[in-house]
Structure 1
Amino acid sequence: MISVKPNPSGNNGKETFVLAHISDLHLSSLTGVSLTSLLNKRLLGYLSWQRRRRHIHSPRVLDALLLDLAEAAPDHVAVTGDLTNLGLPDEFRQAALWLQRLGTPEGVTVVPGNHDTYVATSWQETFSQWAPYLAGDDDGAAAGVYPSLRVRGPAALIGLSSARPSMPFVAVGSLGRQQLARFEEVLEQTGRLGLLRIVLIHHPPIPGSISWRKRLTDAPLFGEVVARQGAELILHGHAHVSMEDELVAGTHRIPVLGVPSASNSSPIPQRTARYHICRFQRTADGWLLRLVIRAYSPAQHRFIAGPEKEIRLPACTP
């Protein structure tokens, strides 16, 4: 049984909540990588980094991101995976230092991505270094048990792990029946309390929304759970492009929003680094989401205001 604990910040009565959503940082130099660590699928990823990715994912963009987030001052930041490139222990150490610059574990929630689990590795050598950022209020995800649950103000941040090792040239994810069963329990409890349920996952959960080799393999089962219990919003990364979709699950129509890589310096507009600021306001029948897009400008070397829109999120009661 997963229990919903009181919000540590003590502001459950708030009628507003501001969440920043970033993803796919790929923050690593991959310098000094030993040959023995590449005698597996990582060799392909290392070659991809040397040929292409190191010219795209820029530390300069991430520095600009930190400055922009500090000015925006959201209530909370969600990071939906792929902080590393090859899931190497040293990359986890680099990412842990960057997370400290981003904010405190109480103010930042992280879920893992497929690059963070490129191959099977020891939890102690990898994710343990991010444990305070992964953990829910009951600390379960700190030991690799998902979903995580954090209650912040009026919001329930529900973190799922779709990350698992896969074959070469494949970047699929899966949740598994045990995690889905716990997910259903969390949705039911938080829905009964009238919380704004925001689901954080790396892979897009809508079947057909991404290529077969990058898909969430049990997306239909995910949809069945959400059809029974409802949710107000789903946020993801993985695709490296902006995505706005809707999951039709039973009687529920749930907005699904994806962001590009937060470190991408490409001049191609669809792929250039972006992040979302989500401003939630309680309404008579649910929530109003004011979505603000912050986009990196290669010419100005900073993030600038992009399009804004309003999305109504009716309460999806179980």
Structure 2
Amino acid sequence: MASQLRLGLRDFAGKRLWGFLSWRLRRQHIHRRTVLDALAEDLLLQHPDHVVVTGDITNISLPAEFIAASHWLASLGQPEFVSIIPGNHDAYVHVPWERSWVHWDDYMRSDADDAAATNLAPRFPFVRRRRHVAIVGLSTAVRSAPGMAVGRLGAAQLHATSLLLEQLRRQGLFRVVLLHHPPITAAGDHHKRLIDAEAFMAMLAEAGAELVLHGHDHVHRMRSQPSPGGRLPVLGAASASAAAVRGHVPAQYNLYRIAPSSRGWTIDVCIRGLEMNGQFATLQRQRLTVARAHAGLAGGATLSAVASDAREG
């Protein structure tokens, strides 16, 4: 988006200069609006019950980028249909709330019935219930030095999330946890790690969840970690705007169909990606099973959700 905005000298202060140069020299050739629009069109044709966006929908956190991103979110659907969490590019530099994330406020707000339960922290976690699924949104978005893209949850957010996950467990809901940074860092990715990943995973090992979705890596990854009910799937989504150039993984998104079963939950994962003809097609399917943490819910309809790292730059 940065290349489409009018910029003044003040916009280049600090880290933004490096981000803008990176965009002009490299990223604008990889991340393309035409690809993002094609993905959104294909996504909506799948008729998901809910869409989740795992952050980085601005490039260098310009105030005008937050407004443009809000228009893109509205093109996906109303706030009750779309949830978003911020990424590190959405906290590239400090921008006051009233000029930045406020434009997305309705997309990362707890349902009215859960508002009292989630005000243990200023904004995150939030929770949205869709049928038998509870979507728990966290923020790892913090400012970092040039050349760094680290994230942090913080003790207050971790504590509030632990209490919320325990409450949702007692209600028998399938708990999907959203965060931008992966809790499992690949070798060589120290500069873009989740700083308190160990504390996050320890919290999940005690409180439990059924699925963790993240972005940040720009590749599809499927891993797992221990949890009270067995193995907890941790899945990452590829970029939603990447063209098939310079060895980059072309744009993808993940479609999840979650259903209760007699023994637990089934998660049907469908990965749809950009092909050479410019169309999106199914690349891979997989079925996962997880144990039920509570016997309170015996049945219900399936729910489809999409996780997508939707940055243009």
What range describes the TM-score normalised by the shorter chain of this pair?
Answer: 0.7 to 0.9
TM-aligned CA distance change 1:41 to 1:204, over 3 Å: same
CA distances 1:223-276 after superposition (whole Å, capped 9, x unpaired): 111111110000000001111111224664200000111000124676110001
Deviation of 1:31 after TM superposition, in Å, equals 2.8
- Secondary structure in 1 aligned to 2:98? coil
Q: Distance in 2 between matches of 1:146 and 1:225?
A: 16
CA distances 1:28-65 after superposition (whole Å, capped 9, x unpaired): 53431212111110110000000011111111111111
The answer to whether structure 1 residue 83 and structure 2 residue 57 are counterparts is: yes
Of 169, 186, 191, 2:164 maps to 186
Q: Identify the residue that residue 154 of structure 1 maps to in structure 2.
A: 132
Q: Distance in 1 between matches of 2:144 and 2:34?
A: 31
- Number of residue pairs matched? 290
Structure 2: segments with no counterpart, 5+ residues: 296-313
Q: Which amino acid aligns with 2:283?
A: G
Is this contact kept in 1: 2:230–2:290, CA < 8 A?
no
Of 284, 287, 296, 2:262 maps to 284
Is this contact kept in 2: 1:136–1:148, CA < 8 A?
yes
The answer to whether structure 1 residue 261 and structure 2 residue 234 are counterparts is: no
Is this contact kept in 2: 1:112–1:202, CA < 8 A?
yes
Q: Which amino acid aligns with 1:54?
A: Q
The answer to whether structure 1 residue 313 and structure 2 residue 287 are counterparts is: no
Q: Distance in 2 between matches of 1:265 and 1:316?
A: 40
Deviation of 1:137 after TM superposition, in Å, equals 1.1
Is this contact kept in 2: 1:230–1:252, CA < 8 A?
no
Deviation of 1:314 after TM superposition, in Å, equals 1.5
The TM-score, its normalising length taken from structure 2, stands at: 0.88
Of 116, 123, 132, 2:97 maps to 123
Deviation of 1:210 after TM superposition, in Å, equals 6.6
TM-aligned CA distance change 1:284 to 1:187, over 3 Å: same
Q: Identify the residue that residue 74 of structure 2 maps to in structure 1.
A: 100
Is this contact kept in 2: 1:229–1:317, CA < 8 A?
no
Q: Give 1:138-149 correspondences, 5 Å limit.
A: 138=112, 145-149=123-127
Q: Give 1:62-77 correspondences, 5 Å limit.
A: 62-77=36-51
Structure 1: segments with no counterpart, 5+ residues: 1-26
- Secondary structure in 2 aligned to 1:93? helix
Q: Distance in 2 between matches of 1:271 and 1:91?
A: 25
Over the residues paired in the alignment, what is the CA RMSD in angstroms?
1.9
TM-aligned CA distance change 1:156 to 1:210, over 3 Å: farther
